[in-house]
Amino acid sequence: MATLYGLMAIGLWGTLALLGTVTANIPAFQLLSLCFTLSAIIIVIKRIAVKKPVFTKPTLTLTQWLFGITGLFGFHFCYFMALKFAPVIEVSLIVYLWPLLLATLVANKQSRFRALIGGGLGFIGIAFIIVGNGELTLNSEYRIGYLLAVICAVIWGSYSWFLSTSNNDVEDIAWLSAAVALLALIAHWLFETSYWSFSLSEWGGILLLGLGPVGGAFYLWDIALKKGNQQLLASLSFSTPLISSVILAIAGFNAWSANIIIALALILSGAIIANMKIKPAVIKASN
């Protein structure tokens, strides 16, 4: 069941691009602050529903606070900053090195090579989606953006790995969300101009983002990496851009492309290789 939660989180992240088209006019950090506020409210509503105390002391250690805030806020901060210094295609592709990093971190010594091969195939698969028929040009003038994108990948891969080793209560994500909402609000004041003339569709987009890919999905991911099949989840994380492409194509924002089929084949092949169980050879002793 925990692995299914992880697949649900991946599916929710696949809706991010579509919901992003609805909220495109909202400054990034302002939107992030609103979404993480909703993420924290999820647990408040849950506790009211089950008649539990609304506010309880978090069980997070200092290390868990640091990893949690760095993972949830640091990732988004570096991503938004990377987009200011480099084109979105290159940034997106570099950021999606994180499933490859996660796959190698959660693999044991016997399966690490297969994890690298499978992750490599998955990465090639998402390149067909992200780059598409466009042009990928790594230009030295964008090196700051590339560096920030690499930091994004390291942050999210490391944070996801840390979740698999951590024993904090999943509801503590609400406290982390509140902290991230505050930091995002500060970043908004520093870097952006406020925009509050939200249309009804924008309010809907904010609500869906906060309940889904920029909120609720983090609770699901936390449970999945603590109790689910971490290697499989790392492999299938490559499918997020694929899901986005399919959803955008269905909604009429993207054209259907053979790249979708190629990406699907590569991602599934990579997942099969990375999760293949090799039976140890049995050596019979001679009499």
pLDDT digits (tens, 9 = 90+) for 221-250: 999 999 999 888 988 898 888 888 888 888
The 10 Å Cβ neighbour count of residue 251 is: 11
84 lies in some domain? yes
139 lies in some domain? yes
pLDDT at 181: 97
Tell me how many domains the chain contains: 1
Helix (H, G, I), strand (E, B) or coil at 144: helix
Q: Has residue 119 got a pLDDT over 90?
A: no
Domain residues for the domain of 105 are: 2-274
Average pLDDT, the chain: 88
281 lies in some domain? no
What are the tokens at 163? 């979740």
173 lies in some domain? yes
Picking from 73-87, 135-149, 179-193, which range would have the lowest pLDDT averaged per residue? 135-149
280 lies in some domain? no
Report the predicted TM-score, pTM, of the whole model to 2 decimal places. 0.88
* CA dist., res. 179 & res. 172, Å (int): 11
pLDDT at 70: 94
* 137 — pLDDT class (breaks 50, 70, 90): low
pLDDT at 248: 83
258 lies in some domain? yes
Q: What is the mean pLDDT of residues 53-64?
A: 89
Alpha-carbon 109 to chain mean position:
25
* 286 — pLDDT class (breaks 50, 70, 90): very low
Q: What is the mean pLDDT of residues 24-41?
A: 94
255 lies in some domain? yes
* CA dist., res. 277 & res. 232, Å (int): 12
286 lies in some domain? no
* CA dist., res. 197 & res. 140, Å (int): 39
